[in-house]
Amino acid sequence: MAHPAHEETIALVKEIFRSYLKEGNQRQTPERFMVLEEIYRSDGHFDADELFFSMQQKGTRVSRATVYNTLDLLVESGLVQRQQFGKSQYHYERAYAYQQHDHIICNECGHVLEFCDPRIGEIQQLIGRIHGMNIESHSLHFYGHCEDKEACEHRKNAEEKNSASH
């Protein structure tokens, strides 16, 4: 059972998406809302194919094209963030009502680790004051290498196999 606050967020993002589609004269299909709901019920980053396969495994009847097109609409509406870490494909994550977080990315295997440190928010406020800017958001990526070489190699091999199968 999802957390009640989680359900409120899902209802709210559906309403925002409904308004966005209406303003743009876009169709409000059940499939588009299924994609939105799947994103807001999961955690962390995902790529478009991971989202598509996850929905397929749950028995949701939605085409790969619908997933890709809906992701574009969700990015345009501001409900989903699109990021590219290194040379890999785009990764997506929820953008609405979630605490600011930052990323550490492995240059070898592409593993993305999310972290949140309140000191970064304090630095953001300080920088804003110094430069006379109201900073509303930021994007911070640290790049490095996994300390666990075995896990890193395993992820790298899995990614190569995954890329070869598409």
1-97 CATH, one of 3.90.420.10, 1.10.10.10, 1.10.3720.10, 4.10.640.10: 1.10.10.10
pLDDT at 98: 59
How does pLDDT run across 24-79, given as a tens digit for each residue?
A: 999 999 999 999 999 998 877 889 999 999 999 999 999 999 999 999 999 998 88
Based on its alpha-carbon atoms, the radius of gyration of the chain, rounded to whole angstroms, reads: 18
Vertex 65 angle, CA 60 and 66, to 5°: 50
Q: What is the CATH number of domain 99-166?
A: 3.30.1490.190
What stretches of 4-148 show up as alpha helix (H) in DSSP? 4-23, 30-41, 48-57, 64-77, 118-131
pTM of this structure: 0.62
User: DSSP code of 87?
Assistant: T
Instruction: Please report, for the chain, the start and end positions of each structural domain, with discontinuous segments joined by +.
Output: 1-97, 99-166
CA-CA distance, 9 to 7, in Å (whole number)?
5
CA-CA distance, 51 to 9, in Å (whole number)?
20
